[in-house]
Structure formats: C-alpha cells, structure tokens
Amino acid sequence: MHYVVITGGVISGIGKGTITSSLGYLLKERGLKVNILKIDPYLNYDAGTMNPYQHGEVFVLKDGSEVDLDLGNYERFLDRDLTSDNNITTGKVYSTVIERERRGDYLGSTVQIIPHITDEIKRRIRNVTQQSETDILLIEVGGVVGDIESMPFLEALRQMKLEEDGRMFFIHVTYVPMLSSVGELKTKPTQHSVKELRSIGIQPDSIIARSPGILSEDVRNKIALFTQVDNKAVIGVPDVSDIFQMPLVINESNLVDIILEKFRKEGNNIENVGKSELIQWKNLLRNILNPKDKVEIAIVGKYVNLKDSYISHEHAFMHVTGNTGIGVKIRWVNSETEMNDFEKLKGVHGILIPGGFGSRGIEGKIKAITYARKNKIPILGICLGFQLQVVEYSRNVLDFKDANSTEFEPGTHYPVIDLLPEQIGITKLGGTMRLGDKPVLIKEGTKAYSLYRTNLIHERHRHRYEVNPRYLKDLEQSGLKFAATDETGYRMEILELVDHPFFMGSQFHAEFKSRPFKPSVLHLGLVEAAYQYKKFLRND
C-alpha cells in the first residue's frame, strides 16, 4: 500500500480537488488500483447541514452519505463509487473518540490530541485501504497549511510517514501570484507556505504551483532552491479554461513518473506501467472545447450566485457535450429575484429546475415551469424541481388553485406533495430523509423507458417529501404520467407530460451518477431535445 498526500498552501480554492481527481485518473490509466480520501477539517459531522452558499453543493454517495463536492469530482474522474469512509471530518473523529472515552475504552487515561485523536485519524485512513484492493490511496487535506483545525490531521500524516517506510509521497499545491504592476510571478508566498509545512515536520516531495501564467525555468529553480524540492518535481500548472484539461496538463508534467520512481527507489514493489496516450480523454476534451453546435439551457435556482452549488449539473452537461459534440451554454437565472416576468427565459432552448430545500424562490421556479409547459420548451426537473412540476400542473391544469407542498404550506387544501404517513412524527433532523442509491422501476412504453432502455435503474436520492398518492389518479388522467416508481409502487420517481416534446422530472438526482464517458441519461435527453428545439426554431 502506498499513499500520496495532497496539501494546500497560500490560499484556498486553488484546485486541489481537481488536481487530486486528475492524478487519480492518470494513476488508474497506468493500470493501478486507486482509491481517494478527502479530509475535511471542519467540526461538522458531514456536509449534510451546510448552506450551499458557504460550502457549495452537497454531494450524495451510494450509501447515502452527504459529503463535500470534491468527492463528486473523485467519483466522476475515477468512475467508481465511494462511501462515507472516503471522507474524514473533525466531527467524525472527535465523535468516535468521545464515545470511546465514555465507554471507558481508554482505561482512565487522559484523552489527548496526541495520541488519541491522531491514532483515530490514522486508523480511519488505513481502514479505507483495507475495504478494497488498493495500490495507491490519494489523500487530499482540505484547507490551507497553517489553519489551526487541520493541525491534528497533518500531525497524523507526519507520524504515518515515519511508520510507512517510504510508502508516502507528499504534494504541496500552492499559488504563485502575478504582481500586476511589474508582470512578475512572485514565489515568496510559496516559500513561506512550504516553510510552514516543514515546521510541522513534513517535507514535500513535489510542489504544484498554480499560477495565472506558465512558470519559467528561473521561477521553478527558485522554488526548488528555497523549498528543498527536486527541480523536476516543481510542477507549474497555469490556469486552464476547462477542468477536463487538467489530466493532460498533469500527464505532460511527468508527475506520475516522479511518484512511481520515488516509491521504487525506496524499495517498494510497485508496477512500472507505461504512460497512457489518453486517447479517449482527448476525444472527450476535443468535443468540449470545439462543439459542433451549441444550445442554451437556463438553470433556474436560488443558489446561482455561487455556481459550485450546482456543480454536478455543470459537469453532467459537459459529459453530454464530450459524448455528443453538442455544447451547452448555461444561462443562470435567480428564481427568487429574476422571475418577475419571463424576460430571463426568452431565447433559451431548454430549462433545468434543480433541487433544493426551503420555500425561498419556489414561486419563480413554478413560473419557469409554466413557461416551459405552455411554450413547449424542453424542461427537466430534479428532486424539488420534480415536485414543483407536480405543483404547477395541479394549480394550472387541474385548477387546484392553492396546491402546494406541505413543506412550504402545511395548511394547503391540495397537499399534492406531502410526507408519507410513516414519516410523520419523526423529529430528528435527517430522520425522514431518503438518501443514497435506491432502485427505480421504469414502465415500458414511456419516454423514460425509451431513454434508459431498461426496466430497472439505481439512482441517488436526497429528499424528504413525496408525491401524494391521493392525487395520482387526477394527475395521470389529465396527462401528467408517472413513468417510474420505487420497488413498492408507492413513491413516484419519474414524470413526463404526454403532449410535450420533453417535459420530464425525476425525484432522484440524476446528476450525481453522471460520468465523463457515461453521461446522465436525463441530462442527455434534455440536451438532445433542446438541440431539436433549436433546429425547429431555425426552420421557423
């Protein structure tokens, strides 16, 4: 077992997650068995209760764990399902240690950061490698070196370096800013960041220097000299227009060869596999950078001021482009402030209504659904978007004027979206949530079946409220069909409108299982319908 640790310095948000994901993909392409672990130093147990404006999208894993959006990148680049064990938080670590202390497991010892907290961190790291056959475990440490909350994790990793006998490789990702007044890249922040890391007892084996431009040989030499890192292991990574370029940039740097060479020098038995040409990835990127045509799709949501809140949808659209050559330009529309009229939707070829919680902005989403339904514009609703499609149809077609979800209006006369009887009375936060992979049964003869071409799929869920079975007959008799249910037939999973070119919604989050070479079926269907709609407008 070998470990590659990725730490960050200077500033946050410099792309550690994308670099880690790309490195994982490259190692996998070499034929190695790769797993990834994300360390989040915050005190929250997981990301489930975090505001998207503070932390971006909450990603849901197969086992129902709610995690940082970086794990979504890991899954997409590695094309593998991760679990809760692939995400360590301070909350998880301290919770376990305190539970043990309360049980008396420490036999009266004074419980301390060292060794009890650090031992638990090391146990969790090693536990990931024991669950499946792994050659290399990538460990991304969230935050920036020097943050007080990350200190126990870095200390645990320092100890592991002593214990693992040459099987650890440390990469430090820093930022080299451009001084605008003189147009010069400045290395001093990187020098101080590495100094901070070395003061902890960790000497990086490689430095990845993110920068606005290409690092000159002089700059690389200067960084190498002041950080005691081999010159060839100082990797410059300039800004790229698309994250799918990152594997190619990392591949050209020979970082993978540097890592494997170091492990072999230490006497570790790790296979020497030749560099991949990345032909499939290059073809994907070619379509993304040079699409044959483009459609414009509006994402109508309330978190659009922070695009990371919907990052899985962005990636799903890029996956579609990579496989079809149809580019997607996203028009971001704030459902709370920009849906007073339909001006923001004019000219789009498709609409996506994403998930969310809370009543803010839902009426704007409902207006967008009305606009798409009446004007035959392709539309896809996801989770809350699916539920609001039911609300909109009930209000404006069935004439149930105050139809709503009891999440937003407990006293509505037409609770077309409601808690199921078995959920009522559960007060624990998250106790009524339906999370993770669940089976979805698709009915033959439906639009959904023509897209998926199978009766059974498994998709990820993150919701609490359901379509109220009391109103199914009214809805279906008027033209809103439910094309898929759960295995009991009690929960509705996919809807479609009979007399509309593409009016579909899913209770599950189709975006969470979209992969570069296996795009989300529903996002693919939306883009292709939008493309047909665009061609129809051209003919007009």
Q: What is the separation of C-alpha 452 from the centre of its chain, rounded to a whole number of angstroms?
A: 23
Q: Is 509 a catalytic residue?
A: yes
User: Among 172, 383, 493, 496, which one carries the catalytic annotation?
Assistant: 383
Measured CA to CA, the distance from residue 435 to residue 63 in angstroms comes to: 8
Look up the domain containing 440 and give its range.
283-539
User: What number is the average pLDDT over the span 204-217?
Assistant: 92
Report the CATH number at residue 23. 3.40.50.300
Residues with Cβ within 8 Å of residue 445, at least 6 apart in sequence: none
pLDDT tens string 484-504: 999 999 999 999 999 999 999
Same domain, 218 and 322: no
Last residue of a domain, one of 213, 237, 266: 266
Last residue of a domain, one of 207, 231, 266: 266
What does the pLDDT read at residue 21?
Answer: 96
pLDDT tens string 244-303: 999 999 999 989 999 999 988 776 667 666 777 899 999 999 999 999 999 999 999 999
Of 27, 189, 161, 17, nearest to 87 by C-alpha is 17
pLDDT tens string 95-135: 999 999 999 999 989 999 999 999 999 999 999 988 778 99
Same domain, 458 and 359: yes
User: What number is the average pLDDT over the span 151-159?
Assistant: 97
Same domain, 254 and 383: no
pLDDT greater than 80 at residue 350: yes
Q: How many Å from the N-terminal Cα to the C-terminal Cα in the chain? A: 62
8 A C-beta contact, residue 460 and residue 60: yes
What does the pLDDT read at residue 425?
Answer: 53
User: Among 55, 500, 509, 523, which one carries the catalytic annotation?
Assistant: 509
Provide the pLDDT confidence category of residue 219 given band limits of 50, 70 and 90: very high
Same domain, 21 and 128: yes
Residues with Cβ within 8 Å of residue 408, at least 6 apart in sequence: 359, 362
- DSSP string over 460-523: EEEES-EE-GGGHHHHHHTTEEEEEE-TTS-SEEEEEETTSSSEEEESS-GGGG-BTTB--HHH
For Cα atoms 154, 156, 158, give the angle at the middle one, nearest 5 degrees.
70
- DSSP string over 335-380: TTTS-SSSGGGTT-SEEEE----SSTTHHHHHHHHHHHHHTT--EE
Same domain, 171 and 229: yes
pLDDT greater than 60 at residue 9: yes
Average pLDDT value over all residues in the chain = 93
Same domain, 262 and 287: no
The one-letter amino acid code at 349 reads: H
The pTM for the full model equals 0.93
pLDDT tens string 220-233: 999 999 999 999 99
The one-letter amino acid code at 420 reads: L
Same domain, 289 and 252: no
In a domain, 9, yes or no: yes
Largest CA distance in the chain: 81
Alpha-carbon separation of residue 236 from 177, 212, 232, 524 (angstroms): 12, 10, 10, 35
Q: What is the separation of C-alpha 336 from the centre of its chain, rounded to a whole number of angstroms?
A: 24
In a domain, 273, yes or no: no
User: Among 313, 511, 523, 528, which one carries the catalytic annotation?
Assistant: 511
What does the pLDDT read at residue 165?
Answer: 87
Q: What is the DSSP letter of 496?
A: E
The number of folded domains in the chain is 2
Measured CA to CA, the distance from residue 69 to residue 310 in angstroms comes to: 10
Q: Is 55 a catalytic residue?
A: no
Measured CA to CA, the distance from residue 181 to residue 455 in angstroms comes to: 62
User: What number is the average pLDDT over the span 62-90?
Assistant: 95
Q: Is 407 a catalytic residue?
A: no
